[in-house]
Structure 1
Amino acid sequence: MQLDSGAVAEGRITRVTDFGAFIQFENGETGLVHISQIAHSFVRNIHDHVHEGDTIEVKVLGRDERGRLDLSIKELLEEPEEIPRPRAIGRQSPQFEAKLRSFMRDAKERGPGSIGATKKGSTGGKRKK
């Protein structure tokens, strides 16, 4: 079995991590499907898509500078008309928003460079000898 760029091959998932899935082929070679190459949509949890022990078909994207196989599952999937975007994060709590507004207002009143600045001529609490 020749695993050149563009080849489609079947392999078994030997390990699933937060960043991708490792695939082993019949010839003993192992490659990585990065989490970004799992699906066309945003993958929040890779375990929702692949499982250790599954046999899957992947496309060989190429090899990195160390000769490791870069693989893709999504290259074999039909691309949806519109790629779903990740759900927006909700607003912060009203208390947090009020504290942030208060902080920004106070910082603006103090003027630029006032945070952490010392008075001119100050030695920052150290005495000159």
Structure 2
Amino acid sequence: MSVEVGSKLKGKVTGITNFGAFVELPGGSTGLIHISEVADSYVKDVNDHLSVGDEVEVKVISVKDGKTSLSIKQTVEKPQGQTNSEFKRQPRQGRDNKDFRKKGNFKPKESFEDKMAKFLKNSEENLSQLKRSTESKRGGRGGRRG
């Protein structure tokens, strides 16, 4: 059986790395399933999904320079019209599911002028403190000559 792009084949997992899994295909050729092509969900460790000796169905994505790229993810039939980008992302823990970018929800506590005045005051204080510390270090041995 020849390995052609787009064909679905059965293979046997021969090795697992941190970036994917190697699969022996019919005819003795070998291909790589990249970690991003193992499952639809996020895969942190390939060992959680595959182990050496597993029989898997794979789809040939590409064949370049004798290297065969495979996918398990693309063998699973999805409902028509559904793509990866349409999966709903779960909201993060500890955050409300509110959209603060809507008009009317954002009310600044201080005006821009108040913030600018506070910034200038802090800057002047920091500069004067810096000058005091550097002036005291400039004096020292050798003081006056005369």
Q: TM-score, normalised by structure 2?
A: 0.55
Q: CA deviation at 1:51?
A: 0.7
Equivalent residue number for residue 101 of structure 1: none
Aligned residues, how many? 94
Compare CA radii of gyration and give the structure with the larger one.
2
Deviation readout 1:26-77 (Å, 9 max, x if unpaired): 311000000000111111111111111001110001112x221010000011
Contact 1:59 1:73 in 2 (8 A): yes
Q: What secondary structure does 1:36 align onto?
A: helix
2-structure distance, mates of 1:50, 1:89: 29
Deviation readout 1:91-123 (Å, 9 max, x if unpaired): xxxxxxxxxxxxxxxxx9579xxxxxxxxxxxx
What RMSD in Å do the two structures reach over aligned CA positions? 2.8
Deviation readout 1:67-89 (Å, 9 max, x if unpaired): 21010000011348653658859
Equivalent residue number for residue 77 of structure 2: 78
Gaps of 5+ in 2: 95-121, 128-146
Identity of aligned residues (%): 40
Equivalent residue number for residue 103 of structure 1: none
Q: 1 or 2 for the larger relative contact order (CA 8 Å, sep ≥6)? A: 1
| Counterparts in 2 of 1:83 and 1:4: CA distance versus 1, 3 Å | same
| Counterparts in 2 of 1:87 and 1:36: CA distance versus 1, 3 Å | farther
Q: Determine which structure has the larger helix proportion and give its number.
A: 2
Equivalent residue number for residue 41 of structure 1: 41
2-structure distance, mates of 1:86, 1:23: 33
Gaps of 5+ in 1: 91-107, 112-129
- 2:63 corresponds to 1:63: yes
